[in-house]
Amino acid sequence: MSPKKTFPVHPMEIFTGIKTFKIEQKALTKDNLYGCVEFEKSLLVIDPNQCIEDYRGTLLHEICHIGFEIYGLGNDEDIPTVTNEFLTTVTSNMIQQLAGLNEELFKFIFQVPK
């Protein structure tokens, strides 16, 4: 009998200040994905079958999709030609806002290995 796989432990929702997205851990290999956001369901799905470093990166990547949607940059056609300074400002403001609203989740994402 093989040992049971343990999934990463962290808060299972992210609050945006407007609404809450549930986080679901589910294998996504058949979809050829590591993570995805289902906006109509307010659901972030992440494949837990990744090394912890990739899992954290995927979680942050999907959270950025949520943040960009909130800031009106969710679809490629919504994104105007922007400067590096604009994109950096939007991204840093978004990360600060979401990290402030979800402190424990961001502690997990940015946890430094010992």
2 is a domain residue: no
What domain range includes position 37?
13-109
In a domain, 70, yes or no: yes
**What would the mean pLDDT of 10-23 be, rounded to a whole number?**
97
**Tokens linked to 105:** 């989740």
* Domain membership flag for residue 32: yes
**Is 4 domain-assigned?**
no
Alpha-carbon gap, residue 16 to 98, rounded angstroms = 6
In a domain, residue 56? The reply is yes
The reply to whether 22 falls in a domain is yes
Q: Where residue 46 sits, what CATH number does that domain have?
A: 3.30.2010
How many CB atoms lie under 10 A from the CB of residue 90? 16
Q: What is the pTM of this model?
A: 0.89
**8 in any annotated domain:** no
Total number of domains constituting the chain:
1
Q: 30-50: per-residue pLDDT in tens? A: 999 999 999 999 999 999 999
Q: Establish if 7 belongs to a structural domain.
A: no
Q: Count CA atoms closer than 13 A to 81's CA, side-chain side.
A: 0
Name which of 98, 112, 8, 102 is nearest 58 in CA terms: 8
| Whole-number Å distance between alpha carbons of 12 and 7 | 12
Structure tokens at 103: 């402190």
Per-residue pLDDT band for 73 (boundaries 50, 70, 90) equals confident
